[in-house]
């Protein structure tokens, strides 16, 4: 048994798909298939069931999965400690951004990394909150920013702030929104977010707690799309205060004065990897620029 076979086993189990596992490991699908076949033959155990929906771990495979993850975590810890003996930190840190880089203080983060860890390069990846959390959990990312309604269990994280979200509509809808209640808002056309989105969860809680159903005219997973559709008069949505205020200044948005909701903004990293030099460097600089140090 080789370490690369363990990595392949974990990747296939987590991705549930040979093609995605191959892409994750930068290998061909035939190579991935060969690694799994070799493991199964070596130990005479079936690790996966090949189904129309992808690769599903067997009961034996599921039992071995946590052991395999523990092996990889031990190897990572070994590599991290060995790297610490070299002195200056070097390499690439992959960080997920779920919203505006300016709002996330990314320029300040880059400056901090350059000043304190000049050998470390940041690779910034823009993607939705739910993808960031999944990629941190599977160690595709070294860290990332995301929204969450409660402290996450799938990754380790620090709370940066409770982000305030306002209900925002087209400027031309002022008269319809100015004295509206939550019930009145529920009857307007909403530009909603996907089920995986934390905004979705918070909004559903807000309306369902009042016994209200919402008119969801459009579902979109991009903040830019939400903003464009509101400007075009297609409906209302929720957005951060800075985005809403900018639209008001430009004369294209109206902020409902009846209230707001809050959601946690977190910086997350893989479980039990706070001692990893790259993760430690990221945490040090994120905490500094967000005044959490």
Please answer whether residues 226 and 151 qualify as being in contact, where contact means their C-beta atoms are separated by less than 8 angstroms.
no
pLDDT at position 293, please?
67
Please answer whether residues 129 and 230 qualify as being in contact, where contact means their C-beta atoms are separated by less than 8 angstroms.
no
Q: What is the pTM of this model?
A: 0.78
pLDDT at position 135, please?
92
3-state secondary structure 224-291: HHHHHHHHCCCCEEEEEHHHHHHHHHCCCEEEEEEEEEEEEEEEEECCCCCCCHHHHHHHHHHHHHCC
95 three-class SS = strand
Q: Which residues contact 148 (CB under 8 A, 6 or more apart)?
A: 129, 133, 157, 198, 263, 264, 266
Rounded Cα distance between 39 and 45, Å, is 8
Rounded Cα distance between 20 and 211, Å, is 41
Which long-range contacts does 55-64 make (Cβ < 8 Å, 24+ apart)?
A: 55/12, 55/13, 55/15, 55/16, 55/17, 55/18, 55/21, 56/16, 57/13, 61/9, 61/13, 64/9
128 three-class SS = coil
pLDDT at position 153, please?
87
pLDDT at position 85, please?
64
pLDDT at position 89, please?
77
Q: Which residue has the tokens 């997350």?
A: 268
In the chain, the domains with their CATH numbers are 3-84 (1.10.10.10), 88-293 (3.40.190.290)
Residue-wise pLDDT for 166-210, tens only, equals 999 999 999 999 999 999 999 999 999 999 999 999 999 999 999
Please answer whether residues 14 and 135 qualify as being in contact, where contact means their C-beta atoms are separated by less than 8 angstroms.
no
pLDDT at position 72, please?
84
Structure tokens at 188: 């307007």
pLDDT at position 274, please?
82
| Residue-level pLDDT, tens digit, the chain, 293 residues | 888 899 899 889 988 988 888 888 888 989 999 999 999 889 899 999 988 888 999 999 999 998 988 888 788 777 766 766 665 677 899 999 999 999 999 999 999 999 999 999 999 999 999 999 999 988 889 999 999 999 898 899 999 999 999 999 999 999 999 999 999 999 999 999 999 999 999 999 999 999 999 999 999 989 999 999 999 999 999 999 999 999 999 999 999 999 999 999 999 999 878 888 899 999 999 999 999 86
Rounded Cα distance between 43 and 67, Å, is 15
């Amino acid at each position: 048994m080789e370490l690369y076979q363990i990595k392949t086993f974990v990747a296939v189990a987590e991705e549930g798909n040979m093609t995605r596992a191959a892409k994750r490991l930068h290998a061909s699908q035939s190579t991935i298939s060969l690694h799994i076949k070799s493991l199964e033959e070596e130990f005479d155990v079936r690790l996966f069931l090949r189904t129309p929906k992808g690769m599903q771990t067997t009961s034996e495979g599921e039992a071995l999965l946590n052991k395999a993850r523990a092996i990889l975590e031990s190897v990572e810890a070994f590599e991290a400690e060995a790297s610490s003996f070299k002195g200056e930190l070097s390499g690439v840190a992959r960080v997920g951004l779920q919203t505006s880089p300016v709002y996330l203080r990314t320029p300040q983060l880059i400056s901090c990394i350059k000043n304190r860890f000049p050998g470390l390069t940041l690779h910034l990846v823009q993607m939705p909150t739910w993808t960031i959390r999944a990629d941190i959990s599977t160690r595709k990312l070294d860290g990332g920013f995301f929204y969450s309604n409660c402290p996450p269990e799938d990754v380790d994280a620090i709370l940066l702030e409770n982000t305030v979200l306002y209900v925002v509509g087209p400027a031309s809808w002022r008269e319809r929104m100015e004295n509206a209640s939550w019930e009145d808002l529920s009857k307007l056309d909403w530009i909603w977010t996907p089920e995986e989105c934390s905004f979705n969860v918070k909004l559903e809680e807000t309306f369902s707690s009042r016994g209200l159903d919402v008119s969801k005219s459009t579902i979109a997973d991009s903040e830019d799309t939400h903003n464009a559709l509101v400007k075009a008069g297609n409906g209302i949505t929720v957005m951060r205060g800075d985005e809403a205020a900018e639209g008001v200044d430009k004369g294209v948005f109206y902020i409902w004065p009846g209230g707001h909701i809050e959601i946690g903004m977190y910086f997350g990293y893989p479980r039990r990897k706070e001692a990893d030099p790259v993760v430690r460097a990221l945490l040090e600089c994120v905490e500094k620029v967000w005044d959490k140090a």
